[in-house]
Structures are given as C-alpha cells and as structure tokens.
Structure 1
C-alpha cells in the first residue's frame, strides 16, 4: 500500500510539472503568433469601414483576433479574411511561419503585387483561397503543398507560365479553380489526370489549347467541369461519358468539332450543360435521357436534325438556348408544361410547325425568342397572360392571324417584335398599358386600322416601326407625350391627314420616316427644331406649301422630300450636293444651287432684245474676267513653278459653309513647299489665308489616273484624269452632310476637268499617321491618368492595310468595317508597325502578320513595341487583344464600336469594371478600391436577339 501511495504521488507530481510546463510555454507560443499576425496586419489595409482589425491588438490573444481560428492547442489553424475589402501585399515567408496553419482564405479582396516567397514552409496547408484578387506575375511553385485539398486562384490576376508540373504532387486535391487568369498558352495539362480525388475543376479562360484528353474520364468523382473560353479543338472525348457524377459541364467558346459523343446520355445527373459557340454538328438524340437538365445551352453551333420530343417532358428545365444552328422540325409541343421556363431562344434555325402553347405555364418566362425560323399558325392566346415577359420576338417566320389582345398591354415587356410575318388586324388600345415597352416592331405584315390614341400612354417607347402594313387614319396628336421616342417609321402604309405639329414635341426624335403614305397639308415647322433629328423622309406623299424656314438650322444626314407638292425656295443650308434628288418631283420648288431645279430668280418681263443685250454683256464680262485670271495665272506661274494642279478655264466651287476666302486664294497656296501629307488617294497642303486662318486642302487623285507623274524640274505635277474619283465623290457626300464636333469640317469643294480639291479646317496637331510613324511620333502614356487628348484623322477607304477583308469581295462597308480599320490603328499603336511593311511578306498586311505570330505560338508580348516601358507592356497587351478581336475576318464576330470603347475602358491599368466570371458579375471601382456590387448573372444563353 505504501509503495502504491508513493507511486500515485509521483504520478501526480509529474503530471503537475508537465501541465505547469505547458502553461509556461503557451503564452510564449501565443506571443510569437500575435507578433506574426501583427506584422501581417501592417502589410494589409482595410478599404472600407469594416472593423475586421479592431480586435487585432497586442494585448489580445491571437485566437481572439477576428478571422483567426485556433486548434485545441491554441495555435493558429486558420486565417479567414475573405471578402473584407483588404488591399496590400502578402509575404508567405511570414504567413508560413505559423506552423499549425491549415487554411488560408483571402479571396475576394484587392490584394496585389507579386508573390516571390516560397510556400515550402506551408506544408500543413489543406486549403488555399487567393481568388478574386489583383496579384501580378507568375504563380509560385506549389509542389511542396502535398496536403492541399482546396486550391482557388480563380481571377486572381496571375499571369505568365503556370507551374502545371507541380500539380502532379498535389494528389489530395479535390477542388481546383485556376480560371480567368492570363496564363501563357499551354496544352491541356496531363498532370491533372492524376488528381483522381477532384470533384471540382474550373479551368475556364486560362489559355489552354489543343484537345481534351481521353484520360479526362479517369476523374470519375468530378461533379463540376468547366473548360470554357479556351482554345480547345477537336472532338469532345468519349472519356467524358464516364463522368456520371457530373452536375455541370461547360465547354462553351472553344473550337470543338464533331458530334456529341455516343454514350453522353449516361450523364443522367447533368443539370447544366453549355457547349455553345463551337462547331459541333449532328443531332441531339444523345441528350434525350438527361432528365435532370435545368440549363441547356447549345447555341452558335452547326447542330441539325429535330429537337427531341423528350425535351417537352423535362420537369426542371429553366434555360433553353439553341439559337443559330441548323435544327429542323417542330418545337416539342409540351415544352414548358412541367417546368418553370425562364427563357427560351431557338432563333436562327429552320424550325417549323406551331408555337407551343405552354412555355409560360410556369409564370416566370421572361424571354420568348423564336425569330428567323419557319413557324406557322397564330400566337397562342395563353401568351396574352404571360405577365413576366420582357422580350417577345417572333419576327421573320410565317405566322398569321390576329395577335392576342393581351400581348399588346403586357406590363413588363420592353420589346415586341412581330415583323416579317403575315399578321393582320389592328393594334389593340391596350398597348397603352405596356408601360415598359421600348421597342415596337410590326413591319412587313398585314396589320390594318388606325394607330391607337393610347399608344401615347406607353411612355417608355423609344422605337416605333410599323412600316409596310395597311395602317390608315391620322397620326394621333397626343404622340407628343412620347418624350423618349427616337425612331418613328410609318412608311409604306395608308396614313392620311396632316402631320401633327405636336410631333415636334418628341424631343428625342432622331429618325422620322413617313414616306409612301397619303399625308397632306404643310410640313410642320416644329420638325426643324428637333435637336437630335438627322434622318427625315417625307417622300411620296401629298404635302404642300413651302419648306419651313426652321429647316435652315437642322443638321441632317438624310433628307428626302421628293414627290410631293411643295413650292417655293429651298433653304440655302439644304441646297447642297448631299441632298441631290431629295427635292425631285416637286415642280413648284426652286433653287439657285441645285441644277436639277428651276432658278428662283424672277423673270421681270423683259423683251427678247433686252435679254440678248444683257446676255452679251455678261458673256463679254466673263471673257474679260477669264482673260484677267489667265494673266494673273501666267504671272504667278512665272514666279513660282511649284503648282501641283493645272489651271483650268472653268472652276466649280461648291460651298458647304459660309466662306471668307476665294478659290484663287486656295490655288495660289498649292505649292510643294506647303505639302504636309500624303494619303491613300491624294496629297494634303497647308494654306494660310490673308486673315491668318489656316486651312487644309486635299488634292484627290483621279481613279483612272494611270499616268501619275513624279516631281520634275522643281515642279509638282499631278496626273490628269477624266472625271472625279469614287473616293472624291464618297468623301464629299459623307463629310458635306455631317455636323459633328469630332468630325473634320469640310468647307467646300473645287473641281475642274482635271483637278479635284477639298478644303478642310486645319488640324494643327497633324495626322494620326504622323503620331504613329514619323518624326512627330509620340510616346504612348499607357497609364491613362492625364487629360484625354482629342485628335482627328481621316482614313480614306482604300488606304492599304486598313481595308476590311469583306470589301474585297462584297464592296460593302458598314460599322463592322470601321471597327476593322480601328483595330488596325490599335495594332499600330501597340506594335509600332505600319499597316504594310516589307517584313510582313508579299500580299500580307499587319493583321495577317499578327495572326501568323499568334498561331505560331510566339509570345504575344514579343509583338509589343520595344519602346513601351516594361511597366506598361501588359496594359499594351490588353489593347492588342482588343485589336485582334476587332480585326477578325468574319464581320459579325467583330464587336460593336460601343463595345470596343467599353473594352478599352476596362483595359485601363487601374480599372476593373463589370466583369463576369463564372456567372457572377463584379463591378470594381479602382479609384476607391471597392466592389460596388455583385449580382448573379445567368449564363451566356440569352442571345443577341
């Protein structure tokens, strides 16, 4: 017993000593970890009013710090500071000195800078989340993180070469998200195929190219696989059909070809499938057994065959986009009968049959888009009760009958597009209840009746296009209530009566087309006061009276008043070549400037003898004046032989603005010493008038000028030609009709048999060519933090290197052609190259040179002009990517100019704005370093329609 008591006493004594020792050590450990965390705090700043660091104080225990979680030994196990509006840099040498650290969550902040530290000391790390940040440089080596189970670097800002080989050692990974980073182009990393514990793999938009390997089927635990927005090609591998646990498969915006693989129906757990914007072909039969589908996005492919009728039985389907394919047959009759469809878009196919009646049965359908097909029959009455509809587009089909009355007054709808069908009947007065309606397209149908007075109550209307129908009656005088109306197209109908004066109260009107009706009475003077009007077509009516004087101040790109009963004098501001033909068919109109119309000079009833005397006097005077001019010319030529245009006995000077100079002042200044530039079709001279005003004069080379000569004997002689060139006519027609602060002003044109001159305002800062490629070249400030400089330039269609490829085969120039030319200028800015250079090779320009470099896998960064500083080369690279997008060969794939501007704004070094990643939209204000909002976004399934 004594020995037992002694033994128990010794045991308790030892235990007491151990606990005492541990208690002694804990404060020291805590002290070390507090010191580490306080050092970490000094590298981070909170950009909002969050109190996240209020508890991070020396006197507190590390385990009481906000965002810090400790283990049972009171050691820091987790740092969770995600979504805390933190900025600053990270030192992993410091962080990894927390020996028990298993989890780092710093995602959705504004952390920046390069990570140069090694992660080798973070050997206990299970979870690393640095996604949604602003880091730069390459991802550090990861192979030492053998215990890592969760790795999220999505949209973290990293770039360069990714250490794919290090993933082979991370065999414990179950979650891997590396997408939306500008990594160097790389084939599909085969190291991933060894990570058999993966259930989540997100590699969208990270420059992966080549084919998806068959071995992807080894990752049988995958529930989410996203490889979208890469450069993947070839077929979808059969191995994908082994991934029976997949809930989401996203492969959109790649170059995938072939058919949906046989056995794809095995993926019965699939909820979201998006393989849009590829080149897939074949039918959809392999998808008929995917009964859990909620979102199906197959748009912009080459799929054919019929849509499986089984799709009509899908009970969870909410998003359905198959537009721009080659699908035939009917839509499944029961589609939407069992599910709450949010939108359906099957536009741009060859679908036939009736519109299924139950697509809005769930009461949540917002977009019904079936345009550009071959549907027949009428619109089911059920859609008149679909109060959730915002877009209703069924145009360009073979639909007929009357439109259900309820559709006209849907409260949420912002576009109703019924054009290019065979609809008939009236527009119901209930259209006044469509308070959200912005665009109404009814053109090319058989609608009839009057335009309801209540249309004026649809106060959001921006566009009304009801052309080519059988509408009759008058325009409601109450139309003045539509203050947002910008486009009004009523042409080719049976309207009559007067054009209401109240139309001039629609202050946003930009286009008015009332042609080919039976309008009578006078043209309302109020139309001339519309501030934004630039398109007015009132032709082929019965309008009478004079052209209102208020039209003298209007600035129009298009004017057509032909074939009416107008009389009187045409305002001088409208008597320009740009409006030739705009007044034909009005025998009562007169003009001193338009040759096709009679002169307005009154005939005083003079006798024939008196007229003959006057005409003879005028002829003699003209001869004297011409003789005097010839003498002056010869005298001038003897003094200076450097005259680039041949003097002519007959000059035709057309004025587009009020001038303070004569043609002789212009001609005298056209000397070689005043040459300031050469373009694709002519030379440009600087002219200084007596009053000190500066002008720029362009001499347009004639299109058939095959005998163009060089400068000889000190005299600049340009070739003779017969008639004006196409470039000359195009430039005059365009610029004489434009009035815009950012468009160079064309004062007049001066033409003779062998000379075509255009007189512009002078821009002292030179041309864009000078700034890019001559001694005046400026160094680009890629930081965009100074005042915006404004320069104007003019590139004539035909200048080598700027012409869009479609012009060569279609001679068709539109906005997308301008976007191409703008893209060429962006490439010049970034590369420092000219549009055409010998180094590009025969028959190649700067665009084909850029594309060849990209295809040959040469680093894009090597294409950036060497004079651009290292600090801003990445920013220049962003502009180059936009330029490549602008110069894609297929016009429809080029962005709009509005989108180009938005992309350039988002490419600013300190600007991330409205970026969508993994269906989440993030708006970031760089100046304030804060996220303005985040909102869920549906997939790219809703089309351009």
Structure 2
C-alpha cells in the first residue's frame, strides 16, 4: 500500500470505527496506523507497540492519568518522513499536534483540515517539506473548519498559491498565524481583518505583492506583525496606528514607498520597529520620538532625508539605533550620547557632518559604533569605550583628525577596528598594539608616523592588519603578536631595511602587500613556507637577489608582483607550475635567461616583463627576442624547416583559393545609394543567411521611411536586432568588416551595417528565444549566473585579443542576451583599441574591465549600475565594495536566488572580490580580461582542491 493510503482509508472508515470501537480503541488503532505508514529512521516511535498503553508512548500525552485519551502529540525534530499523517488531526480529544522540524512532504491533504478535531487548539507543521496550496477553499459557503484552533504554524515549507480569503472563516479564533518562509504569491487578503483575536501574524519570506491592506488596522489585538522579505509596494497605511497593542512591527525588505506615517507614534507599546530595506522617503516623523518603549529602531537602507532630531533623547529604552544608508544631513544629535541603554549605533553612509558627540559612550554601554562614510570632522572621542564593552568601531571615510585617544587604546574589548581614510596623525600608541581581541585592524589612508618596530606587538587574535598609505618608517617588526594573520598590508609607507624572515611563521597568510616602500635585500626563504599565500606584492622597493625557488611550490599563489626592484638572476623555470598563478609582474628588474614554459608565462603580457634586457622568450606576445639553443642538430633542423615552409606554402595556397572562391559566392558587398531626405547611405551585409532576407533595398527603404527596423518574419522567420548609433569613434568600413566577420560562441555577430555621413545602423544576427539579461536575471540560479559571467568574460577577452573594445558601458539591458538554451551572448558595439595587445595599463581596456566588474556585481546582488538604492550610497560600486569588506553575505546577495546559498558562499565571496578588483579606482590595478577568465574558470567552473584552499584563505 502506498504511503498515506492507510490514512485515506481510515478517514472513510471513521463512522464505522466510531460505532464498532470505543474511543480509546479508535485512538490506539489510529496511532498504530501512523507508525506503519511513515518512515522513522531514528526509531523515535519504537515504543509504539501493543505491549504498553499509548499514554506511555514517546511523544504522546494523555488528558489525565485517569482518562486514556490522547491530548498532545509532540514529535518535533524526529526526522520522520513520508506523507503527512493526517489521521492525527482527527483524534477526538487532541489539544496539541506538533510535527515540526521533520521531513514530511507532499501537499496538506484536504481531508486533514476538513476533519479537524473540534478539540484541537495548537497545530505546528513548521520546517517540513510540505508543498502545494493551502487546502482552505470552501464550496461557496462560509464553512467553519475549526472554531477552536488558536495556533497555526505552517512556516518554512514549500507552500504555493495565494493566501485564501476563507482563512478567517475557517479559523475564526486564531491567535497565532505563521505562514512565513514559503512561496505564497498574490496579495494579503483584506479578509484577514476578520481574525479579531489574532495576536501574532507573520507572512514573511514569501512572494506576496500589492499593498499592505489598511483593514489590518482593525485587528486591535495584534501584538506582532512580520511581513518582511516580500514584494509589497505602496505606502504604509496610516491605519497601522490603530494597533495600540502592537509590540513588534517588521516590514523589511519590500518596496514600500512614501513617508513613514505619523500615526506610528500612537503605538506606545511598540518595542521593535523594523522598516529597513525599502524605498521610504521624507524625514523621520516627530511622533516616532514618542515611542518611549522602543528597544530597537531600524530605518536603514531607505531614502530618508532631513536631520536626526535631538528629541531622540525621549527614547530612553533604546538599545539599538540603525539609520545607515539613507540621506540624513546635519550633525549627530548630542542627546544620543545620553541614551542610557544604547548599545548599537549605526549611522554609516549618510551625509552627516560636524563632530562626533564628545560624551558618546560615557553614559551608555556601546558595543557597536559605525559612523563610516559620512563627512564627520574633529577628533575621535575619548570615552567611546568607557563601558569597556565596545566590540566594533567603524569610522572610516570621514575627515577625522588628531591622535588615537588613550581611552580607545586601552579598550581591551575591541575586536574590529576600521578607522582608515581619515586625517588622523601621530604615532600608534603602544597600548593600541596590545589589544588582545582585535582580529581586524585597518588604519590605512591616514597620516600616522613614527616607527612600529621598537615595541612589543601583543595581538594574538589578529587576522587582518592594514597600515597602508601612512608615513610610517623604520624597519618592519619581526612579529605582530599573532601567527594567524591572513591579510597583511604595509604598502605605501617609508619602511626600510629587509623583509623580516619572521613573516614566514604566518601559516595562515593569504595576502602580503609591501609595495611602495624603501625595503632592500632579498625575499627571505621562510616566506615560501606560507603555503596559503594567494597574493604577494613587493613592487616598487629596492629589493634584490634572486626569486626564491620555493615560490614555485606555493599551491595557491595567484598573484605575484615583483616589479620595479633590483632582482636579478634567472626566473625559476617551474614558477607557475601549480597552475594557480594567473597574474605575474616582473617588469623593471635585472632578470636574464629564458622565460619559463609554464602557463602564466606562455601568454604573458609584454608590460609584465619589460625592463629586463637579459630576458628572452619564444612567445610573440612577450615582445622578447628568441632564445638561442645551446645545441642544435642543424642538418635535421634545416630539413624540418624546409618541410614546414613547404607545408605552409601549400596551406596558404589552399586558403587563398577558398577565400577567392568564397568572395565569388558570398553576399558581402558594398552598395552606395542616395536616399531622399537622408543623404547618401552605404550598405554592407556580412551574413550569408541574412543576405537572403536583408537586402540593401529593404534596408534603405526602412531608412527612407524614417525607421531603422528590419521587417519581422522575413524569409524563414528570422528576426534581426537593430541598433542605431551616431557615436562610434575611429571606425570605418575596414574595421566594421572585421566586426562583421568576427564570430564567437558568446558574441552576437553582425549580420549587416549601414552608414551615412552622421550615423551607423547595425544589424545583428538573430538569437532564437533571446532575452536580455535584465529580464531573465530573476530566474537564474547562482550556477547559471556563474556561467553568464564566464561566457561574457570569454567574449571580452577574445575581443581584446583582436584589438577591439566595447563602445559604451556593458549593461544587462543593452549588451547581454540569453539565447533559448540559456547561453549568454554579448551584443557588441566595438572600435579599435589602439592598445598593445593585452596591455593591462590601457585606459580603454580598463573601462571594459570596469564595466564587467559592475556586471558581476549585478549577477551577485541583483542591483544594476543605476539602482536608486545604491546610488544614494555613492553608487553600486562603492556599495558593493563596502558590503564585501564589512557586511555578511546575507545582506548583499540577491535574495531572489533560490537554492542552497550556503553551499556556494565561498564562491560568491570570491566572485565579489574579483568584482571589487575589476572596479578599482586605479585602472592599473584592474586585472586584464585574460586573468578574469582564468579566475572565474578555476574558481567557478572547475574548482579543484587548490581553489578550496584559496577560498578558505580569503574567508577573513
């Protein structure tokens, strides 16, 4: 008998069983049928047998000791699977049924709800695999399924369809309704307002649309509303203010617009107000400051404006205040410092100015303070860590001045400190380098000076340290008090002396950047013991000696920059043998001998090895003279050469014949026609199939009629995309013909082109089932988005190799289409680069790389380059850069992506790191497209064991 069949049979036999057996006998047989019909891999139901009373069975509670009737069935988290045992719903005396956190699948049987026991008060089916719609549709009458049910939790399943209007008629006395974490669609039914005893309502994490029904304000018993993580729109209804019993209001991650209604100030019992990640605008209504019971207020990531009022002092119970990523102006209210229970204050990415309140931290228990990315001036207050509980201090990208205060230097509770990109100065205090819990310390981009070697660094938890872009001098210390450092950036200072051999003890080191200092001497051999090293940059120093042979054995080394030093000797011939090395720069040193024959050197750019007169190589791209072999068998070589020349001549003859023959047959031609009112047009068709349906006459007729469209359905039904442009620089028919003959799997080829004196009209080959990436994005899983990234990177790399560049920015709307098979293809407007092939410093190629980085951000976050939410934070690039360095993946990954996100977390972080590199402000720091392709292919398409090591090394 199939699983669940016994339940169905039992329902049909209910009237018969109730007359043939006593109630106790019926309950006994019903429970045994449950055990026989579901899967129980943990033997949680092993006690369910004939040998004992069912009141003693595991998970069963009877009404009382004197009456053997089942009152409670509690089987949560037992790994039970199969169809939902709906016979349990009908037990005549059951009060509570809890089957949560199991693996029950399939739909909720309609008979389960239609035969609910009248005694049932509590039904919990959360965290299963239930699917299908809610079986609450009536037959046209207001049928009451259960007038007694008070608690209904169906959350975290796979339920679909709409929320039925009948829910209020079916369960009129509900106090708790939780349908969150499903795939419910449609609108929130206004009939839900009939649930006049409802206290707890959560519909979060579904796919609901439309407005929040104003009728919700009629349920005056509500204490908890959670409808976040949907697609709700419109304004917050002012009727919300009628819910005076409300304790928790959560409307986050929707698309709500308009102002926050002033009626919210009526919710005097409100303790938690969460409106973040919407599109709300206008100022904070003054009435919010009347909510004296508030513990947490989060209005972040909206479009709110105005100033933060000093009236915030009235929120005497406030522990968490988060207003970041808005457009607030003015100063930080000094009254914030007087909030006695304040623990978390996050105001980053606004337009705040003035000084940080001097007493901040002195009257409260601050644990998290983030005021970054504003226009704050003055010094860092002395008392921020007065409570000795400050864990996270983020003040970067402001205009703060002065020294690090003593109170902060002695803050031994600190774990994460980011004060980079300010105007701080003076020496780093001795106490500041002895903070025992700090794992992330970034003071870069300031004016700190002095030496850091004559002190004892005692920071055992340190994993990331950046002192870059300061005026620090003297030798580097041998230790920083931690052997767990993963990222060490000491670049752009005045450090001198040698690279300490003690750095080789950093077994977790993934990134070491010492560039732009005055370091001298060799690279110490112990550095090659850092087996997790991904990036080594010691460029622009005075280093000398040979490349340590051990660098060739580093298993995950991806980037190596030794440029502009005084290194000499030969390049180790097995450097790059592991296959992980995708970028190397050895330029402007004194290397001699031949280039290695490993992967990265076989296609190395000339700019990466220039300035080494003694180098030679066999690759054309290197720009080096060929190496002379020590021993040659000249007679044999001569014969082989003659043979090769003969074969080459034969091959060229065949190609010439085919070319002449093709030119005689193909439909590539140039025709010049004068069109009245439109000047003289030249037309060329490149695609043989297109030439059968796109003729010069049809094109010119379209232009004459004032259009640039190709007739739909022409010939065999092909539809050609057309693009009209007046600004393609430096291009003529020779370059356009090269474009027309160019074919690549991930590029939409040109079928034809027209040119007048003022503009071009480009006709692209048809793409069956084509859709723009912006349209298809919401349907793409992470794996499919990865394939899109790889495909477009390959296309750009191929274009760059041919000396072509994109004209304009790369966008998901205009440049990237997915064909019917889901393959990503690039629509190109290109022009000659004028760049040396593959040259990383080429400004124009850097623009393409930047555009690709923005596209990669879109694939990861769902936010486009003109996203209004990101624009108010300085643009999507700056927003992505901040999220990558400061926020958890859950806060920036595109929420529409379904599937096991946690499984791909490392890959997503790796891809965001690449996007940040591609969008570097300094074009010379951006990777070339060849490197981008290698990184994506290795870390996304074919991840091997070394890639896993990279991911672990980068997970700082």
TM-score of the two chains, using structure 2 as the length reference: 0.64
Tell me how far apart the structure 2 counterparts of residues 168 and 218 of structure 1 sit (CA, whole Å).
13
Q: Does 1:182 align with 2:207?
A: yes
Q: Does 1:135 align with 2:159?
A: yes
Q: Does 1:707 align with 2:733?
A: yes
The equivalent of 2:607 in structure 1 is: 581
* Residue of structure 1 aligned with 2:483, choices 441, 459, 467: 459
Question: Aligned ranges for residues 109-508 of structure 1 at < 5 Å?
Answer: 109-114=127-132, 115-117=134-136, 120-140=144-164, 141-145=166-170, 147-161=172-186, 164-183=189-208, 185-285=209-309, 286-427=311-452, 433-455=458-480, 458-508=482-532
1:144 partner SS: helix
Tell me how far apart the structure 2 counterparts of residues 791 and 376 of structure 1 sit (CA, whole Å).
42
Tell me how far apart the structure 1 counterparts of residues 313 and 214 of structure 2 sit (CA, whole Å).
32
Deviation at 1:60, TM superposition (A): 4.2
Deviation at 1:343, TM superposition (A): 1.4
Q: Does 1:105 align with 2:129?
A: no
Tell me how far apart the structure 2 counterparts of residues 545 and 86 of structure 1 sit (CA, whole Å).
65
Contact between 2:475 and 2:496, CA under 8 Å: does it hold in 1? Answer: yes
Tell me how far apart the structure 2 counterparts of residues 100 and 632 of structure 1 sit (CA, whole Å).
89
Deviations 1:192-231 (A, max 9, x none): 1211121211111233210011121111111111111111
2:328 partner SS: strand
* Count of equivalent residues: 713
The equivalent of 1:66 in structure 2 is: 59
Deviation at 1:163, TM superposition (A): 5.8
The equivalent of 2:562 in structure 1 is: 538
Distance of aligned partners of 1:575 and 1:216 in 2 relative to their CA distance in 1, 3 Å threshold = closer
The equivalent of 2:98 in structure 1 is: 81
The equivalent of 1:650 in structure 2 is: none
Deviations 1:68-119 (A, max 9, x none): 5749997635214164536245446446645542522315431513332557
Deviation at 1:791, TM superposition (A): 13
Tell me how far apart the structure 2 counterparts of residues 901 and 352 of structure 1 sit (CA, whole Å).
29
Deviation at 1:448, TM superposition (A): 1.6
Distance of aligned partners of 1:229 and 1:910 in 2 relative to their CA distance in 1, 3 Å threshold = closer
Tell me how far apart the structure 1 counterparts of residues 641 and 23 of structure 2 sit (CA, whole Å).
108
Question: Aligned ranges for residues 457-856 of structure 1 at < 5 Å?
Answer: 458-551=482-575, 553=577, 556-571=581-596, 578-591=604-617, 633-634=652-653, 637-638=656-657, 641-642=660-661, 706-707=732-733, 719=737, 793=791
Task: Indicate the RMSD between aligned Cα atoms, in angstroms.
Answer: 5.2
Contact between 1:394 and 1:418, CA under 8 Å: does it hold in 2? Answer: yes
Tell me how far apart the structure 2 counterparts of residues 189 and 112 of structure 1 sit (CA, whole Å).
27
Deviation at 1:323, TM superposition (A): 1.0
2:239 partner SS: helix
Tell me how far apart the structure 2 counterparts of residues 641 and 823 of structure 1 sit (CA, whole Å).
34
Tell me how far apart the structure 1 counterparts of residues 261 and 806 of structure 2 sit (CA, whole Å).
39
The equivalent of 1:762 in structure 2 is: none
1:277 partner SS: coil
What residue ranges of structure 1 are gaps of 5+ in the alignment? 1-23, 605-617, 646-670, 674-701, 710-717, 732-742, 745-767, 774-780, 801-806, 838-880, 916-943
Tell me how far apart the structure 2 counterparts of residues 254 and 353 of structure 1 sit (CA, whole Å).
33
Deviations 1:501-551 (A, max 9, x none): 222222222222212222223332322332322322222223333333343
Deviation at 1:382, TM superposition (A): 2.7
2:280 partner SS: strand
Deviation at 1:270, TM superposition (A): 0.8
Tell me how far apart the structure 2 counterparts of residues 105 and 585 of structure 1 sit (CA, whole Å).
76
2:276 partner SS: coil
Deviation at 1:349, TM superposition (A): 0.7
Q: 635-644 or 169-178: which moved more?
A: 635-644
The equivalent of 1:14 in structure 2 is: none
Deviation at 1:177, TM superposition (A): 1.7
2:329 partner SS: strand
Distance of aligned partners of 1:525 and 1:459 in 2 relative to their CA distance in 1, 3 Å threshold = same
Distance of aligned partners of 1:143 and 1:583 in 2 relative to their CA distance in 1, 3 Å threshold = closer
Deviations 1:275-310 (A, max 9, x none): 111100111104232111111111111111111111
Tell me how far apart the structure 2 counterparts of residues 465 and 216 of structure 1 sit (CA, whole Å).
51
Contact between 2:861 and 2:894, CA under 8 Å: does it hold in 1? Answer: no
Q: 881-890 or 543-552: which moved more?
A: 881-890
Contact between 1:87 and 1:109, CA under 8 Å: does it hold in 2? Answer: no
Contact between 2:233 and 2:254, CA under 8 Å: does it hold in 1? Answer: yes
Tell me how far apart the structure 2 counterparts of residues 148 and 833 of structure 1 sit (CA, whole Å).
53
The equivalent of 2:932 in structure 1 is: none
1:305 partner SS: coil
Tell me how far apart the structure 2 counterparts of residues 581 and 528 of structure 1 sit (CA, whole Å).
22
Deviations 1:353-386 (A, max 9, x none): 2212333333332211111111111112233333
Deviations 1:376-403 (A, max 9, x none): 1111223333333221110001111122
What residue ranges of structure 2 are gaps of 5+ in the alignment? 1-17, 70-91, 138-142, 632-636, 665-686, 690-727, 747-765, 772-778, 799-804, 829-857, 868-875, 906-954
Contact between 2:546 and 2:570, CA under 8 Å: does it hold in 1? Answer: yes
Deviation at 1:339, TM superposition (A): 2.9
Deviations 1:580-629 (A, max 9, x none): 1334334444556578656665999xxxxxxxxxxxxx9xx999999996
The equivalent of 1:885 in structure 2 is: 862
Larger Rg over CA atoms: 1
Distance of aligned partners of 1:363 and 1:41 in 2 relative to their CA distance in 1, 3 Å threshold = farther
Distance of aligned partners of 1:152 and 1:443 in 2 relative to their CA distance in 1, 3 Å threshold = same
Contact between 1:496 and 1:517, CA under 8 Å: does it hold in 2? Answer: yes
Tell me how far apart the structure 2 counterparts of residues 268 and 55 of structure 1 sit (CA, whole Å).
53
Q: 29-38 or 127-136: which moved more?
A: 29-38
